[in-house]
């Protein structure tokens, strides 16, 4: 092992020596600098490897050959090795990134950079408090110098404010240090800790001065205007180093100094961390400029890390796992992001559309944003999970809420930014170049994020169980993105097929149903993809990401695996949805609702996890602690995915604006993930020893109202896909309602609806989507008369709506029959009536799908439109066959389902005799109904055909126009705004108030942020005033009263 002191000796020796080079040899100076940083990285890497493999132990480095406290000593322990390694490695990458900028400023810039990194190393390693002060000053001064590699007054202003602020802070620190020395007779941190300084007269004040300085270095809200300005004003290449290096060093400094203080300080630090985390992210919501957004995000993450530091006492052995997992994600992703900003050079986040000119950069941006928000497979996902679980074990739900609120706010602005990058209009004249020395470091960081994420997962027992193979498959598809569409489609289908083949034998029946819906359904919808031409860049990785998530949900043995799958699925579906032409706002609201739901799940899992050794998914059965809260949160989380009333406003836009074959994926398939979750919750509730009837009762009402609102909303749509989207809301309401009944029949109904909704919604969305592809519009009034041009599509829609509306003979009727049996048996009459009435509404909108789209007059411009694509027809008709089979022989499915449900509700009230089903109320036969209806239908058809053989065929232009010139062309369609009168009567029931409510929340957040951020007046003196005010207020909070 190389003595770590050589890190310092090498840096300073080379730094001093470079002066000799004079103004010649800038390249040489730069090369020498990088070589030195590489050496520094090597030394710390060697130590880190030693600790990782367990063949070295912590060792002290004694300077001057004396034992502490006589002289200064440094410590190289596992944490130090890791942190110095990270700092040096980032320093090396940063040096490569900034090489040209440094060179322009002359060799001094290289030297300052080298010394800065050395300073970070010493701050991390030193065990002497005054030495800490000196090297902290070195890092401050070097930072103040390197801010100037960016030209312009903004950088100068930022550097000046930074220097003023750090001067005040270091003065406070120095006063604290000298008094600490006076009272303890030593400057060694370990000795000061042993000396019980806090019990001495004046000790608390001294500790206060030291700690408050360390805290202020971490830029706590609101005394952090100077820090924000540095992040924004400095060269972005350097801001990254400040964000990563300073954060790491200052955090570790606080960590070292904390044991001096009394334990309450941990609480204060956690509190300040919480305020900073929420405060900074709240203000981030209001930002428009890319650099400033990142600045707020950086500060916010520092707050989160402070929070962890403060709560470390509750984390037990997991403290390093949590802390370093979040730290490393933040460092890698934030650094990469800053560097990306340095390349793209678009000021406002709206202008980030230009990043699409280089799709690879968009990918990098996506990785960074999803890593920062805490999605799998990045390290922060696993660390946050462990953190929340541990907090819950100690009953610290308030802190969990803080983490969740802060993370959510951060997601709001990061996701909005990403939305702009993916979707906003790119008509900007300025362009950017990718230089190889700038992109390479970013790529390395990205790769590290994935690799470290993988290893982070392996660290825990549950994390190691996660199956990463589907994710690997997604990666393969990403790298195969240059291939033509049919190759990728085939690979995707084959991959999913193989996956299904190998996994389905291991599943129980319940999971098998959903696996069939997810995977087989996925394959069917993918078949429609053959219709597309070209490359369809980015579609396959994200679609498969969603399916990988769905598969992981099914396969999950533990809550962690489930949550992992849930988040993957959310990410994948978000990317799918945002691909739609006008999807930007809808994708954002989808993401935000999904995240909100996911956080509710996280909270619920953490409650279920209390006192549990191994978090298998079974812990959701009979949750002992706070059962109402736990199940309530679980339901709330899953209901965001099923778009139940109140949480439904994201769905119409998201599903309506998605691409033609994406809509069925996200509607017919994805929504079932929510159903699966609801089902898991209800199974758990069923086994609960607590009385949770009220919760199920409320759930029933939620389902019923959702049916009504969804169906009513669908009635007033002019957009065919939105109509189907609203219809999905209603249908999911049925499913939720049926399951909430919590009887054998109720569940049988629920399953029937689940399976059927999957089939007919896929048929309808695929058909309408295919029609939209042909006619080029979603608006029904721009269609009409298509029956002549697209008979096969017409038949598909007809069968689809018959199935949906629950008219015999198709399977919808099966569902309805079971449904009313279940409702009557349960005695939920009011809800039943509401649902029944809503069923009538379904006819209103379903009718329009036929009447407006396929009947009436063919529009002029659609005279030559062709039948929908063959590749769409395949899955459509496969599904129709499925619908018919289910309708004709429901016992094939319902009987095994009955056995399955009997596990949970043994009282099987449905008795099968051949094709006859009996309940206490009546009986019914699917086969019989099918046969009789078919006979009637065919008979009537024959009769009509025969009797109208000689009738005159009326052509479209047999009508006489009277020369009218309508101003709004849609008004000429007879079915335009068909239910306008009805709408006037019932509009309040479409619940516009829900939308208003969420808008109000959003406005409130924006207004608050806009108001609070005015404290950052930009005036350096005001910032100093903030710092002093912060010190004084903290003084009175912490020890003011106890003197």
Partner 1 sequence: MEFFELGKISLLIGFGLIVLGFWGILSQKNIIKIILSFTIMETGVNILIVSLGYVKGKTAPIIDSAVEQGANHSVLGQVVDPVPQALVLTAIVIGFGTTALLLAYAMKLFKAKRTLQINNFNDLKW
Partner 2 sequence: MLRNLLISLLLLSFVYIFYNLYVGFTPKTELDGIAAHYADKGAAEIGAANLVTAVVVTYRGFDTLGEVTILFLTASIIGFFLKLTEADENKVIIHRGTSELLVTSSNLLVPIIILFGIYVFMNGHLTPGGGFQGGAIIASAVALAILANPNMHINHQIILWVESISGVVFVLIGVLGILLAGGFLDNRVLPQGQFGTLLSAGAIPIIYSFIGLKVGAEISNILEKYQKSQKES
Interface with partner 1 (CB under 8 A) = 130, 134, 137, 141, 144-145, 153-154, 156-160, 163-164, 167-168, 171, 174-175, 178-179, 181-182, 187, 228-229, 232-233, 286, 292, 1013-1014, 1016-1021, 1024-1025, 1028
Instruction: Select from 197-205, 496-504, 758-766, 803-811 the region that touches partner 2 (CB under 8 A).
Output: 197-205
3-state SS class at 339: helix
**182 or 829: whose CB is closer to partner 1?**
182
Q: Sheet with 923-925: list strands edge to edge.
A: 911-913, 916-918, 923-925
Residue 1018 binding partner 2, by CB under 8 A: no
Distance CA 524, CA 503 (A): 18
Q: Smallest distance from the beta carbon of 158 to partner 1, in angstroms?
A: 6
**66 or 829: whose CB is closer to partner 2?**
66
**986 or 1032: whose CB is closer to partner 2?**
1032
Distances (CA, A) of 974 to 768, 865, 977: 20, 21, 9
**974 or 1025: whose CB is closer to partner 2?**
1025
Residue 65 binding partner 2, by CB under 8 A: yes
Q: Smallest distance from the beta carbon of 295 to partner 2, in angstroms?
A: 23
Contact predicate 743/825, CB 8 Å: yes
**Best CA proximity match to 217, nearest among 164, 254, 188:** 254
Q: CA quadruple 717, 722, 727, 730: dihedral positive or negative?
A: negative
3-state SS class at 259: helix
Residue 1020 interacting partner from partner 2, partner 1, none (CB closer than 5 to 8 Å by kind): partner 1
Residue 1043 binding partner 2, by CB under 8 A: yes
# binding residues, partner 2 (CB under 8 A)? 63
- Cα of 596 vs its chain's centroid, Å: 9
Distances (CA, A) of 765 to 192, 577, 673, 731, 954: 70, 14, 18, 14, 31
**Best CA proximity match to 558, nearest among 426, 680, 728:** 680
Instruction: List the one residue from 35, 38, 49, 61 that touches partner 2 (CB under 8 A).
Output: 61
Q: Token pair for residue 474?
A: 């997604």
Q: Smallest distance from the beta carbon of 171 to partner 2, in angstroms?
A: 11
Q: What residues contact 778, with CB distance under 8 A and at least 6 apart?
A: 656, 719, 720, 721, 722, 772
CA angle 389, 395, 396 (to 5 degrees): 80
**Best CA proximity match to 595, nearest among 617, 574, 616, 610:** 574
**210 or 678: whose CB is closer to partner 1?**
210
**183 or 904: whose CB is closer to partner 2?**
183
Q: How many residues does the chain have?
A: 1043
Q: Smallest distance from the beta carbon of 189 to partner 2, in angstroms?
A: 14
Instruction: Select from 194-202, 263-271, 461-469, 868-876 the region that touches partner 2 (CB under 8 A).
Output: 194-202
Residue 201 binding partner 2, by CB under 8 A: yes
Start-end of H helices in 377-536: 379-393, 397-423, 436-459, 461-464, 469-479, 485-503, 509-515, 521-527
923 sits in which H/E element: strand 923-925
**15 or 284: whose CB is closer to partner 2?**
15
Q: Token pair for residue 136?
A: 């902290």
Residue 60 interacting partner from partner 2, partner 1, none (CB closer than 5 to 8 Å by kind): none
Q: Smallest distance from the beta carbon of 69 to partner 2, in angstroms?
A: 5
Distance CA 927, CA 805 (A): 19
Residue 215 binding partner 2, by CB under 8 A: no
Contact predicate 117/11, CB 8 Å: yes
Residue 928 interacting partner from partner 2, partner 1, none (CB closer than 5 to 8 Å by kind): none
Residue 233 interacting partner from partner 2, partner 1, none (CB closer than 5 to 8 Å by kind): partner 1
Q: Smallest distance from the beta carbon of 145 to partner 1, in angstroms?
A: 8
Binding mask 7-36 for partner 2 (x = CB under 8 A): -xx--xx-xxxxxx-x--------------
Distance CA 407, CA 93 (A): 28
Burial class (CB in 10 A: 0-12, 13-18, 19+), 867: middle
Distance CA 474, CA 965 (A): 54
Residue 179 binding partner 2, by CB under 8 A: yes
Q: Smallest distance from the beta carbon of 1042 to partner 2, in angstroms?
A: 11
Residue 63 binding partner 2, by CB under 8 A: yes
Which residues from 102-141 bind partner 2, rule CB under 8 A? 105-106, 108-109, 111-112, 115, 122, 128, 130-131, 134-135, 137-138, 141
Which residues of this chain interact with partner 2, rule CB under 8 A? 3, 5-6, 8-9, 12-13, 15-20, 22, 61-66, 69-72, 105-106, 108-109, 111-112, 115, 122, 128, 130-131, 134-135, 137-138, 141-142, 144-145, 148, 179, 181-182, 184-187, 200-202, 205-206, 1025, 1028-1029, 1032, 1035-1036, 1043
């Amino acid at each position: 092992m190389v003595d770590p002191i050589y890190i310092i000796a090498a840096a300073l020796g080379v730094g001093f020596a470079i002066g000799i080079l004079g103004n010649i040899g800038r390249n040489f100076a730069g090369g020498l600098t990088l070589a030195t940083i590489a050496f520094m990285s090597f030394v710390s890497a060697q130590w880190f490897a030693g600790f990782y493999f367990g063949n070295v132990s912590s060792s002290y480095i004694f300077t001057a050959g004396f034992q502490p406290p006589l002289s200064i000593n440094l410590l190289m322990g596992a944490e130090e090795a890791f942190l110095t390694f990270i700092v040096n490695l980032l320093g090396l990458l940063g040096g490569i990134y900034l090489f040209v900028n440094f060179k322009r400023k002359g060799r001094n810039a290289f030297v300052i950079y080298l010394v800065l990194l050395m300073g970070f190393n010493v701050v991390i390693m030193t065990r002497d408090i005054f030495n800490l002060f000196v090297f902290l000053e070195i890092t401050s001064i070097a930072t103040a110098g390197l801010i100037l590699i960016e030209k312009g007054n903004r950088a100068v202003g930022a550097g000046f404010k930074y220097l003023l602020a750090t001067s005040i802070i270091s003065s406070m620190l120095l006063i604290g240090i000298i008094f600490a020395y006076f009272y303890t007779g030593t400057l060694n941190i370990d000795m000061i800790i042993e000396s019980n300084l806090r019990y001495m007269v004046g000790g608390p004040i001294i500790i206060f001065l030291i700690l408050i300085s360390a805290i202020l270095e971490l830029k706590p809200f609101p005394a952090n205007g100077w820090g924000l300005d540095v992040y924004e004003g400095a060269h972005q290449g350097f801001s990254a180093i400040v964000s990563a290096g300073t954060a790491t060093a200052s955090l570790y400094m606080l960590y070292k100094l904390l044991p001096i203080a009394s334990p309450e300080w941990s609480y204060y630090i956690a509190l300040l961390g919480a305020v900073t985390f929420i405060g900074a992210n709240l203000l981030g919501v209001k930002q428009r400029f890319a650099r400033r957004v990142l600045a707020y995000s950086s500060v916010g993450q520092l707050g989160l890390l402070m929070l962890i530091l403060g709560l470390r006492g509750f984390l037990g052995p997991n403290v390093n796992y949590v802390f370093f997992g979040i730290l490393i994600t933040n460092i890698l992703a934030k650094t990469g992001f800053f560097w990306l900003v340095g390349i793209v050079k678009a000021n406002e986040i709206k202008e980030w559309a230009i990043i699409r000119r280089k799709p690879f950069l968009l990918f990098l941006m996506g990785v960074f944003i999803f890593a920062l928000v805490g999605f799998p497979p990045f390290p922060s996902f696993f660390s946050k999970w462990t953190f929340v679980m541990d907090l819950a074990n100690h009953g610290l739900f308030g802190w969990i809420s803080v983490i969740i609120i802060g993370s959510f706010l951060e997601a709001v602005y990061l996701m909005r930014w990403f939305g702009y990058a993916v979707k906003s209009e790119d008509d900007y004249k300025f362009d950017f170049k990718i230089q190889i020395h700038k992109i390479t470091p970013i790529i390395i960081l990205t790769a590290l994020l994935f690799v470290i994420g993988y290893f982070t997962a392996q660290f825990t027992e549950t994390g190691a169980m996660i199956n990463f193979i589907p994710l690997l498959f997604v990666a393969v598809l990403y790298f195969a993105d240059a291939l033509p569409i049919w190759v990728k489609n085939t690979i995707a289908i084959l991959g999913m097929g193989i996956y299904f083949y190998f996994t389905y034998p291991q599943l129980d029946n319940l999971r098998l149903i959903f696996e069939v819906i997810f995977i087989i359904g996925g394959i069917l919808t993918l078949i429609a993809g053959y219709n597309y031409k070209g490359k369809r860049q980015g579609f396959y990785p994200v679609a498969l990401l969603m399916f990988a998530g769905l598969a992981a949900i099914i396969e999950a043995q533990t809550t962690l695996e489930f949550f992992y799958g849930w988040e993957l699925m959310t990410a994948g579906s978000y990317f799918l949805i945002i691909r739609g032409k006008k999807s930007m706002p809808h994708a954002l609201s989808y993401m935000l609702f999904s995240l909100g739901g996911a956080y509710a799940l996280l909270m619920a899992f953490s409650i279920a996890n209390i006192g549990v050794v191994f978090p298998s998914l079974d812990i959701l059965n009979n949750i002992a602690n706070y059962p109402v809260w736990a199940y309530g949160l679980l339901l709330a989380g899953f209901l965001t995915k099923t778009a139940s009333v109140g949480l439904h406003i994201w769905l119409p836009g998201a599903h309506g604006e998605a691409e033609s074959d994406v809509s069925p994926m996200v509607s017919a398939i994805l929504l079932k993930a929510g159903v699966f979750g609801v089902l898991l919750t209800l199974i758990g509730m069923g086994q609960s020893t607590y009385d949770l009837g009220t919760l199920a009762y409320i759930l029933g009402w939620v389902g019923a109202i959702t049916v009504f609102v969804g169906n009513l909303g669908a009635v007033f749509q002019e957009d065919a896909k939105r109509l189907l989207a609203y219809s999905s809301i209603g249908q999911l309401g049925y499913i939720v309602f049926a399951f909430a009944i919590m009887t054998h029949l109720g569940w049988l109904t629920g399953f029937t609806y689940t399976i059927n909704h999957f089939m007919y919604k896929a048929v309808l969305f695929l058909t309408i989507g295919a029609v939209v592809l042909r006619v080029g519009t979603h608006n029904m009034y721009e269609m009409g008369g298509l029956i002549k041009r697209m008979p096969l599509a017409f038949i598909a829609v007809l069968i689809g709506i018959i199935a949906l509306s629950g008219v015999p003979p198709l399977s919808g009727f099966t569902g309805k029959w079971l449904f009313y049996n279940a409702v009557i048996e349960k005695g939920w009459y009011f809800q039943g009536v509401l649902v029944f009435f809503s069923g009538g509404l379904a006819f209103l909108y379903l009718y329009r799908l036929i009447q407006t789209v396929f009947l009436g007059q063919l529009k002029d411009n659609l005279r030559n439109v062709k039948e929908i694509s063959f590749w769409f027809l395949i899955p459509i008709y496969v599904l129709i066959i499925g619908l018919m089979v289910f309708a004709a022989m429901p016992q094939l499915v319902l009987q095994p389902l009955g056995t399955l449900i009997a596990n949970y509700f043994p009282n099987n009230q449905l008795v099968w005799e051949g094709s006859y089903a009996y309940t206490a109320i009546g009986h019914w036969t699917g086969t019989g109904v099918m046969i009789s209806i078919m006979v009637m239908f065919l008979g009537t058809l024959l009769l009509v055909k025969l009797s109208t053989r000689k009738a005159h065929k009326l052509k479209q232009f047999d009508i006489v126009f009277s020369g009218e010139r309508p101003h709004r062309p849609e008004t000429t369609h007879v079915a335009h705004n068909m239910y306008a009168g009805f709408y006037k009567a019932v509009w309040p029931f479409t619940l516009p108030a829900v939308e208003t409510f969420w808008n109000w929340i959003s406005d409130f957040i924006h207004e608050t942020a806009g108001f609070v951020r005015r404290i950052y007046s930009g005036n350096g003196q005001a910032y100093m005033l903030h710092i002093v005010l912060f010190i004084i207020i903290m003084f009175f909070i912490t020890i003011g009263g106890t003197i």
